[in-house]
A and B are shown apart, each in its own frame.
Chain A
Amino acid sequence: MRVVALGCDKSGYPALLRWGEKGSLPFDEVKIFSLPCLGLVTEEAMFRILENSDALLLAGCPLDSCHNQKGSQGAYLKVQRVNSLLQEADIPKKVAVAFVTSGKVGEIEKVSEELFGRGK
C-alpha cells in the first residue's frame, strides 16, 4: 500500500516525521510532505494524490487550536466529503485526518492502523 502523508508545519509534519522514524510501518511506501496548513488541501488535490497512491493521511493541529483557526476544521469537512464520494463510486481508497500536537504520534498510529486495515 502506497501512502501519502501531508502535515502542517506547525504540528502535523513534525509528528509525521517522528512516526516515520519509528520504522517498520505496515505500508509499502510512505511519502511525507509538509505544507503551511491543512486548510490548503482542496478536495481536488486529495483526488489527484489518490490517483497515484492508495491512501492519503493528513495530520494537522487539533480542531480547537489550529494556528490558522479554521484550517483543521475545513480539512475535516473536506476529508468527509471526499470519502463519501469515494464510497459512492465504490473506489477502495481512503483519506484520513489526524489531529495532533507536534510531539504526539499516537493519534497518527491509530488513524494509520485504521487506514491500513481498510486498505489491503
Chain B
Amino acid sequence: MIIAERKPIKEILSFLVPGEKILVLGCGTCVTVCMSGGEKEARELSSLLRLKGWETKDFTLERQCEPEFNLRAKEEIARADAIISLACGVGVQALGECYPGKKISPGLNTTFMGMPKEQGLWEERCWGCGNCIVHLFAYICPVTRCAKSLMNGPCGGSKNGKCEVKPDRDCAWQLIYDRLKKENQLEALYAIQPPRDWSTSRYGGQRKMIREDVRL
C-alpha cells in the first residue's frame, strides 16, 4: 500500500488564513491503514485546528484517488473555504482535478509503497519500476531495497548485514544471499544480470495503463 506521513503541524498551519472555514478531508484506504490520514487523523487535526481558532469540519471519503468517491463530499467541499486533504499525493491531485478553483492543501507527505513490518513500523518494498524481477532475488527487491539498486551483488559497504548508507537498514544483498543460501539456490546469483530496461520505470516519463478491453 501507499505509505504517507503527516506534515509538520506548523507547515499545515502555514497553508491556512485566519477566518477560513476549513474542511479536513480524510481518506479511508492506504493512509487509514498506515494511520496517517484516516477518519481518526482527520478528526484529530480538525479538532486541533479548532483549538487554534479556525472553524473546521472533517469528512472522510472511502478513496480520494477516484473521482466518483470525491464527488460524495461535494456539499462539504462547497461549504468550506479551504480543504486540507489527508490523502496521498494521488488523492490530493484527484481532488484538485475534481474541484478546480478550490483551495486544497496537502496534509501528508507521501513517502513510499511499502508494508507494515511491525506495530508502528512501515518499510518500503516496491519502486514501481514496471518490470518485476523479485522472483530472481528471493523476493527481496534489489532495485528498491539496495541503496544503489545493484543487480549483481552487494557493494563494498555492507557490514554485519547492514547498509553503509543507513546503518539501521538491512543490506538487501545480505538478505538475498542468506535466504538463497538457506534454500540451496546460490547458483541463482552466479549469472550476470544485464543492464536493466528502465524505460518501464518513471524514467520513461509519466506512465499510463490502457486496457482497451475494459474501456467504454
Contacts and interface: CB of A to CB of B under 8 A. Distances in A.
Interface of A: 42-44, 47-48, 50-51, 85-86, 88-89, 91, 93
A43 B10 contact: no
B44 A44 contact: yes
B52 interface: yes
Nearest to B49: A89
Interface residues of B, number: 12
B9 A89 contact: yes
A44 B8 contact: no
B44 A47 contact: yes
B51 A51 contact: yes
Nearest to A49: B47
B44 A88 contact: no
A43 B44 contact: yes
B165 interface: no
Contacts of A44: 40, 43-44, 47
A89 B48 contact: yes
A85 B52 contact: no
A93 B50 CA distance: 13
Contacts of B43: 44, 47
B44 A89 contact: no
Contacts of B9: 85, 88-89
A69 B13 CA distance: 38
